[in-house]
Amino acid sequence: MKTLKIYLSILVLGLFMVAACTKEVTETKTITVSKSVTDGQALIQGQVTYKNAITNTNDPAPKATIKIATDLVTKNFVQFWAADTAGNFSVKGLAVGTYYIAAEYRDKNNYLYVTTGYTVTINNSVDPVTLNFLCK
């Protein structure tokens, strides 16, 4: 009987783990610009908003977190930037390479809003690139 309870516990735990897994959908934006003032550095800027469940509007996400990963497979984030009080952000100095960039926002009730993110390939330094995020 004890063995049966252990097996049932493992089965239930496994079901919860499978249900909690979700695949993140990414949007790809490739940037290639040959002219620039500073070689090898890009400026990514934009605004983070969130879908307000109470008013059903897209509101600015103050102090949202911009997350940058260099490994597109694991998406382990290695850089973190904060948006200002209006949800605007500016990330300067990204070198030539491919990055996964996402945003998240935690409201005053501690509810977490997330985005799907972008895959950005920087081939040369560029004029400012705008990425706007909508956290849901």
* Kind of pairing between the strands at 88-94 and 42-52: antiparallel
Is residue 66 within 8 A of residue 34, CB to CB? The reply is no
> Does residue 72 lie within any of the structural domains?
yes
Residue-level pLDDT at 65:
97
Give the pLDDT band (50/70/90) at residue 3.
Answer: low
pLDDT digits (tens, 9 = 90+) for 19-52: 333 334 455 555 554 444 445 577 899 999 999 8
48 vs 42: CA distance, rounded Å: 19
Q: Between residues 65 and 29, which one has the greater pLDDT?
A: 65
**Given a cut of 60, is residue 94 above it in pLDDT?**
yes
> Does residue 3 lie within any of the structural domains?
no
Residue-level pLDDT at 5:
56
Q: What is the CATH number of the domain that holds 90?
A: 2.60.40.2190
> Does residue 4 lie within any of the structural domains?
no
| Average pLDDT of the residues of the chain | 78
**Given a cut of 50, is residue 16 above it in pLDDT?**
no
> Does residue 126 lie within any of the structural domains?
yes
Over residues 84-110, the mean pLDDT reads 91
Q: Between residues 98 and 2, which one has the greater pLDDT?
A: 98
Nearest to 108 by CA among 50, 57, 46: 50
Q: Count structural domains, the chain.
A: 1
63 vs 39: CA distance, rounded Å: 30
Q: In this structure, which long-range contacts are made by residues 18-24, counting pairs with CB atoms below 8 Å and at least 24 apart in sequence?
A: 24/75, 24/116, 24/117
What residues make up the domain containing 125? 25-135
**Given a cut of 80, is residue 72 above it in pLDDT?**
yes
> Does residue 7 lie within any of the structural domains?
no
Q: Which of helix, strand or coil describes residue 116?
A: coil
